[in-house]
Copies of this chain bind each other. A is one copy, B any other.
Amino acid sequence: MFAEHLAPLVIQNDKKIVMLIMDGVGGLPLTPDGKTELETAATPNMDKLAKAGTLGQAIPIHIGVTPGSGPAHLSLFGYDPFKFFDGRGPIAASGVGVDVNTGDVACRVNFCTLDEKGNVIDRRAGRISNEIALPIVEKLKSIVIPGVEVEVAHVREYRFSIIMRGEGLDPRIADTDSQQTGVPPLKVTPTDPAAQKTAEYFDLFLQKARELIKDEPKANGMLLRGFGTNPSLPSFFDRYKLKAACIAVYPMYRGVSKLCGMDIIDFEGTYPADEFKTLAEYWDDYDFFFVHIKKTDSTGEDGNFDGKVKVIESVDQALPDLLKLNPDMLIITGDHSTPALMKMHSWHPVPVLLSASERAIPDEQSTFGERSCSKGALGTIHGTDLMPLILAHADKLGKYGA
């Protein structure tokens, strides 16, 4: 849709856009008459923006569909996830600086713990630290598979990526993670006969890896997920004429931003205030800033309602640092919902706050929350419609027809 009809309308100007994403911000009340995490949090700064701006709610992927982080961010960035999402392996690999090119096959891998019978007893190997994981990944780098080039790259803690390069590779391979414990990892199985050979390469890798790590106390097995090849995304600049930067702590979000052609900014610290400080430092260098807050999601996944409330409050407290930069267009939203009640991502619509001085029609809502957003003037829109809306509010999307 965008490439075909909207891209020709894009206008380049010097207005500045900030997309502030609180990962998994959407929530649910713990009791039927209770409030959600976002409704509970004291957010005087966001409420002020909500009062002056426009609210709405977004469906990241499809009504009823729970988004994974990769496709959810593609949607935020305006890329149809059904078209562009191609397994999270390439996105994760890209996030740690490994190029995944067309024809390569990448997957992401969790170390796991196997019992003596070979059954998975911990799908994340006790969430081993970087210090423990790095030397094990180093061992795996010694593996040679005749016929293909293999690259192994550590991502974070118990997670790493395997990338294979060579002729005739095909990413249509099922996950070996059954998402359960008490059973062995699944075999490497092609979902299309054309991927048979590729599956054999990965299986051979697993056989060799097993020998190398069999005596590890925790990381003595591995689970492969998200096989894919380079999603070949059109860049943010090609699509939107935006010089874009990513300010994010976690590799996954840096990875998907890089795939979209954003510059990835390195910085110290992990708090919202650190991210806003970085934003200020680079303010003159870019038109578009993607600022990612991870801990709203992590606390949600942990079922930590109060913790999630506190993270949201910490973002609100730091917000004046962002606001004093006076962005022409600020959107605050999430990539999906992660209700603490459910301890997982969910399909619920995501609250959206558009703040763009006189360009956003003020609705009658004066707080930023799920239910105020459900009554906001934007209505319920698809995640991929946010980018055109943002461009419009920054006077960057022209008229269709004369």
Contacts and interface: CB of A to CB of B under 8 A. Distances in A.
A62 interface: yes
A62 B388 contact: yes
A263 to B, nearest CB: 24
Interface centre among A226, A342, A374 (most CB of B within 10 A): A374
Interface of A: 1, 4-6, 9, 28-29, 32-33, 36, 52, 57, 61-72, 81-82, 85, 87-88, 108, 225-226, 341-342, 344-349, 358-359, 361-364, 370-371, 374-381, 385, 387-392, 397-402
B402 A63 contact: no
A69 to B, nearest CB: 7
A5 B363 CA distance: 35
A68 B349 contact: no
Nearest to A51: B32
B68 A389 contact: no
Given A64-B389, A377-B374, A72 B397 contact: no
B347 A71 contact: no
A334 B256 CA distance: 40
A398 to B, nearest CB: 7
B380 A381 contact: yes
A66 B375 contact: no
A400 to B, nearest CB: 5
A397 B361 contact: no
22 contacts: A5-B82, A6-B62, A6-B64, A28-B358, A28-B361, A57-B377, A62-B388, A64-B392, A64-B397, A66-B392, A68-B399, A71-B401, A72-B401, A88-B401, A88-B402, A226-B401, A226-B402, A344-B399, A345-B399, A349-B379, A364-B371, A375-B375
Contacts of A67: 399-401
A397 B29 contact: no
B375 A378 contact: no
A377 B385 contact: no
A71 B361 contact: no
B362 A29 contact: yes
Contact of A65 (B9, B72, B376, B379): B9
A5 to B, nearest CB: 5
Nearest to A385: B63
A362 B371 CA distance: 9
Given A70-B401, A362-B32, A401-B70, A6 B65 contact: yes
Contacts of A341: 358
Contacts of A63: 381, 385, 388-389
Contacts of A345: 399
Contacts of A108: 402
Contact of A348 (B361, B362, B400): B361
A116 B227 CA distance: 65
A102 B391 CA distance: 36
Contacts of A378: 380
Nearest to A377: B374
CB-CB nearest 9 A-B residue pairs: A68-B401, A64-B388, A379-B380, A64-B392, A71-B401, A374-B377, A63-B385, A64-B389, A66-B399
A366 to B, nearest CB: 11
A386 to B, nearest CB: 8
Nearest to A375: B375
A21 to B, nearest CB: 16
